[in-house]
Amino acid sequence: MKCLIPIIIIVVASLGPSHRLGATEDANDFIGPVLAAADSGNATAQALVGTMYYYGYGLNQDYKKAFFWYKLAAEFGEVSAQATLGRMYYLGHAVRQDLVQAHKWYDIASINGHEDAGSYRHRVSEKMSHDQIIEAQELAASWIYKFKN
């Protein structure tokens, strides 16, 4: 399944918002296996489902469902989902805007190798107090410690 994810992303992105799940048999047949993989705990598929809900690719756009799937994937170590959680907290998509949580998730994604998360974290930190930054760093360190152990 992992080798199919890049292909799935390209095909789902090409569906665009006009091809929602259920709009055609083909879309439903295509998206079903991705949802099944996500339900079975595949973090890459979970992040993909999050992306599909976030942008409305093949599914109706729904930030709450996107957040749910991104959170699952992030907790399994999926780096792009970790960065996207940072974005969702920063923008207040499906959750109350929370700069501490945004910084935390950008920090985690950056530590785990996300190419742009460090610069996103820097932008968030410019809007935070020193105490908020310390809190976010402590939360990130605690999360990483739990995840690694």
pLDDT tens for each residue of 124-136? 999 999 999 999 9
Token digits of residue 100: 């501490």
Whole-angstrom distance, CA of residue 54 vs CA of residue 65: 8
Residues 33 and 56 both lie in one domain: yes
Residues 85 and 103 both lie in one domain: yes
pTM above 0.75, yes or no: yes
Asked which of 53, 76, 99 is the last residue of a domain, the reply is 76
Higher pLDDT, 67 or 6: 67
pLDDT tens for each residue of 70-113? 999 999 999 999 999 999 999 999 999 999 999 999 999 999 99
Residues 66 and 89 both lie in one domain: no
Q: What is the pLDDT of residue 35?
A: 93
Asked which of 58, 76, 94 is the last residue of a domain, the reply is 76
Q: Which domain holds residue 130?
A: 77-149
Residues 71 and 4 both lie in one domain: yes
Residues 62 and 101 both lie in one domain: no
Residues 82 and 64 both lie in one domain: no
pLDDT band at 19 (very low <50, low <70, confident <90, very high): very low
pLDDT value at 27 more than 50 = yes
Q: What is the pLDDT of residue 22?
A: 45
Q: What is the pLDDT of residue 31?
A: 87
CB atoms within 10 A of CB 146: 9
